[in-house]
Structure 1
């Protein structure tokens, strides 16, 4: 089933219902949303010459056009490649080239910044500025129905941050995303036509993925006028918008809680806050619930099984009388309805309740594999299970508690940063001998990047020079916020760098 059929169904059922708002202004009802989507799909096929199965890259900030391009891709039988608008041009370059995208849709500023890709990426034939007359020209002809699509046809190429220096493209099919959508209704929230989903987090990730259940229910998508997360703006929206829902990283929830005492908050208008993408401390969660009420649901997922591994339900958050209430709040909940979850040892044997091992899952939400990377696909999906790389335990009632992240991912402001990617950049600096990167606590963002560096004999390298190098190669939010120069990095007998020792050293030096 083509995901665009969800939009067509709601347009047929409720054509006059509000579908997209930009701030408080109505951008399109469902009839208009479908009309523009289907017309753009024809423009993609006829004007740009794209064929079913082709990839279309999106380098866009949150906007109504984002939804139009996304659903138009599927209507035309194309695969979307959404990319974080905060990435570095070199990172955009890699994803566009690796995916073999034939077209790139970009916000105005990004269209200018990425114009060089037209000459440097062989597959790329067209860059479309979504704020230009050229974009509107693509809507000239009558629309088309959704292209016939099989469940395993590629819908969304989701680039995960790379543990080996390069991101991998998780191939998400129409069937994967439909499974995720149905799990939302069963395990996360009962989406309804009266709901408004606010996009305050990037639509290239969790917030955008959750547009499907709202479209299926005939609810409204609201793009924050600022295009980003602004607590004061959210409070203003909450003041005037009943049944408001949104996805947020735990750090965003904490920032809202910290800002809330300065405002009168219409908590009765807040229906659901889905939080995920990183750990949230129980104390912070309790403060948020005390301020905003019983609106919270947690999800645990990965790009390889989007938003769909476990969930901690609204009922779990409200069950204050349960004897294990604290432990449950500290967990990531139970397996979602279409997913099996197992804790396994290093040989992939199942472990009993309470023992720590790698988190494995399987089900119709799990990706088809990694784009153009059969080796990584075989390793990650061996035995028919998705190997998440995360460590955790299951209790006797099936509640999953995350322990360590075996891939050493750093989660800052809800965005994943993998140390190897940063380390490889720093190692390009002349005079740098060894580097190790870790995540250290940050009061607002959850974690920030800290780098430990050793130099070659006689070399003189400054933190400022390393910072300039990082800014030239990777996104600003990934660069280290602090550097420590050591004579040698701590290692075990096998020569492996001991990151636990680096964390201890950081705590001692910072007084944390």
Structure 2
């Protein structure tokens, strides 16, 4: 079934209901949003001659038109290829060429760069700037009925971040996204009509995926005027719209709770902040709960199982008197409703509770494979299970605690050392603002532990003092053998630390 039916249903339930806001102002009702998506779909199919299954790239910063382009593609039976607006033009060109995109919608800030890099792409018919006269003409066609789609038809071609090489195209189907939407309400948040979602994180990724459950409830979709995350702006929106929800990366939460106005923010209008996409350290989470109260839900997912592997619910965040409270806060929660989860060894044999291995996932949320990459599909989807590449352990209640990505585990003297455990320890030091722990080749031990530290102030930190601090909290063999002090950690556009860049720095 076509995902566009979420918009059809919402419009039938109330054409005049507010659908999209740009900052404080309403710019579209559900009736007008559905009509614009239907007219755009008709133009894509008629004027450009696109066929069901053709790919349409979206290189746009967050803006109100994003939703009508995304849902217009689905309405026409086409496959949107959302791309991070902060990519380099050459990265856009790779994704456009690899996906065989027929059209590319862009915002004005990206138009020139993409036009220049995509000139030689034979399959690409046109680059269309939203808001231009060319774009407005596409909205004048007579609307078409939503195209028929099978559940296993491709719905979203999601390119991985590519921090360790060329990005892969995860083939997300309508079934995968219907599953994600179905799991959202019992496992993440109970959205009600009249609630709102704020798109402060990129709509090309998790934030845009979460438009689906909010569309299912005919809620309000709020795009900040900045098109990005600004703590001052976000707190201002909390005073304007009711029942707010948002999806944040952990680094965004840290910025929000440090804002001078955070303590006086109108939190009564703020329902839920879903966080994921990277490690949320225990100290940061406790501080966030102290500032904003029990409004947090953690999800763990991947592009290969979009936003849908585990969740740590609001109720679990509130059980501060539970004897395993801190361990649970340090976990990523339990498997979502339609997901099967286990931890396995290198031979794919399930491991007992408490033992550490690779996290494997199975269920209707898991993609069928990667776009034009049979070898990656075979490696990742072995024996009917998604091999996440994440290392973790399960407890008796089914809580999953992630240790690290498999490629980030440090093996020193034949013993596994998990960087996150060392990072969690160092972040408890009052003079450490940020830290990332990596392995460096060692002629005797195989690898040695190196901590790359961002000091909290300009005052120099003592390696000896940090070493003593680690020895007070973790085993001697886990402590860093060297410390490297930097002003900032290299990160990608979603706030994830680029450990490949750190390794280049210390090698």
The answer, yes or no, to whether TM exceeds 0.5 is yes
3-state SS of paired residue (2:9): helix
* Deviation by residue 1:69-106 (Cα, 9 ceiling, x = unmatched): 10000110100100000001111111110001010000
1:203-249 deviation digits (Å, cap 9, x = unpaired): 00110010000000010100001111000001111012220100001
Q: How far off its partner does 1:449 sit?
A: 11
Q: Name the count of aligned residue pairs.
A: 443
CA apart distance, 1:509: 5.7
Tell me by how many angstroms 1:118 deviates. 3.8
Displacement of 1:51 after TM fit? 1.0
Q: Distance in 1 between matches of 2:175 and 2:436?
A: 36
Q: Residue by residue, what CA displacement relative to the aligned partner does 1:107-164 show, whole Å, maximum 9, x if unpaired?
A: 0121111112442212111100112110010011111111000000001000002365
Please report how far the alpha carbon of residue 11 of structure 1 lies from its aligned counterpart in structure 2 after TM superposition.
Answer: 0.3
Match of 1:319 in 2: 319
Q: Which residue number corresponds to residue 449 of structure 2?
A: 500
Query: Which residue does 1:56 correspond to in 2?
Result: 56
Deviations 1:30-79 (A, max 9, x none): 00110000000011111222111100011100011111110000110100
TM-superposed deviation, 1:306: 0.7
Q: Deviations over 1:256-276 (max 9, x none)?
A: 111155662111111000000
Task: Map 1:286-305 onto structure 2 (within 5 A).
Answer: 286-305=286-305
Q: Hey, what does 1:333 align to over in structure 2?
A: 333
Q: What corresponds to 2:84 in structure 1?
A: 84
Where 1:218 maps in the other structure, the secondary structure is coil
2:30 paired with 1:30: yes
* Structure 2 CA distance for partners of 1:267 and 1:501, relative to 1, 3 Å: closer
Q: Which residue of 2 aligns with 1:138?
A: 138
Other structure's SS at 1:370 match: coil
Cα–Cα, structure 1 residues 63 and 163, in superposed 2: closer, same or farther, change >3 Å?
Answer: closer
Against the structure 1 CA distance between its residues 269 and 323, is the aligned structure 2 distance closer, same or farther, given a 3 Å change threshold?
Answer: same
Give matches, 1:67-466, under 5 Å. 67-162=67-162, 165-261=165-261, 264-408=264-408
3-state SS, counterpart of residue 315 of structure 1: helix
Secondary structure at the residue paired with 2:5? Answer: helix
Report if aligned partners of 2:256, 2:262 keep a CA contact under 8 Å in 1.
Answer: no
The separation in 2 between residues aligned to 1:378 and 1:34, in whole angstroms, is: 39
CA distance in 1, matches of 2:87, 2:481: 31
Structure 1 spans left out of the alignment, 5+ residues: 410-437, 453-488
Q: Is the 8 A contact 2:75 2:146 kept in 1?
A: yes
Distance 2:163 2:223 in 1: 32
Q: TM-score, normalised by structure 2?
A: 0.83
Q: 1:78–1:66: structure 2 CA closer, same or farther, 3 Å change rule?
A: same
Contact map agreement 1:251 1:446 (CA 8 A) in 2: no
CA-CA distance at 1:490 after TM superposition:
2.9
Distance 1:116 1:290, change over 3 A: same
- Relative to the length of structure 1, the TM-score reads 0.82
> What's the CA shift for 1:16?
1.2
Please state how far the C-alpha of 1:289 moved relative to its aligned partner.
1.1
Q: Secondary structure at the match of 2:68?
A: helix
- What is the SS of the residue equivalent to 1:500? strand
Unaligned runs of 5+ in 2: 410-422, 453-479, 489-507
